[in-house]
Structure 1
Amino acid sequence: MSDINKEAISILNDLIETSIDGEKGFHTAAEDAKNPEIKAYLLSRSSGCKTSVAELQAEVRALGGDPEDSSSIAGGAHRLWVNLKSALS
């Protein structure tokens, strides 16, 4: 595998991780939304992120790499904080 492919795979995997964070973050926010329009909007954004993840993962595979399939530690910690904050308010 060329160095260019390795660099591209690394960048794409970073984007995948960020997109997974977005997907889960929008989904978590939708769970707490009371307004049906806002809930629908947040779920739509979550779905869009999920689609992006699948497309980015396909590109990583096409370049001969192993695509990322999990969110970042920072994203998980942020979702935990949002859930805790929501539970307390």
Structure 2
Amino acid sequence: MADSPATPSASKVTHMIHPSDPQFTRPLAVRGGQGAPVTCAACGCRLGQTGEAWFHFNPIGGRDARGCRVACADAAHDLTGRPVSVAV
């Protein structure tokens, strides 16, 4: 029998690790030294980024994604999760 291994040796394997694209990185709030999603300071809902502002995920008629009626559901928020404008 031949002494050739069935798999290539580890020294000949090229690893395909690509660096993260900085275009796809999202700003995160920092809490206790750890990155975390941006959440609303008033009600705790997770916010999604739209341009420079952050909004509640899928707001429907003044309600958040859970269906709760919150005053800031349609308002733009800053990176800290505070509403910067309240919709009327």
What is the TM-score of this pair, normalised by structure 2? 0.25
**Which structure ranks higher in relative contact order (CA pairs < 8 Å, sequence separation ≥ 6)?**
1
Bigger share in strand: 2
Bigger share in helix: 1
What is the TM-score of this pair, normalised by structure 1? 0.25
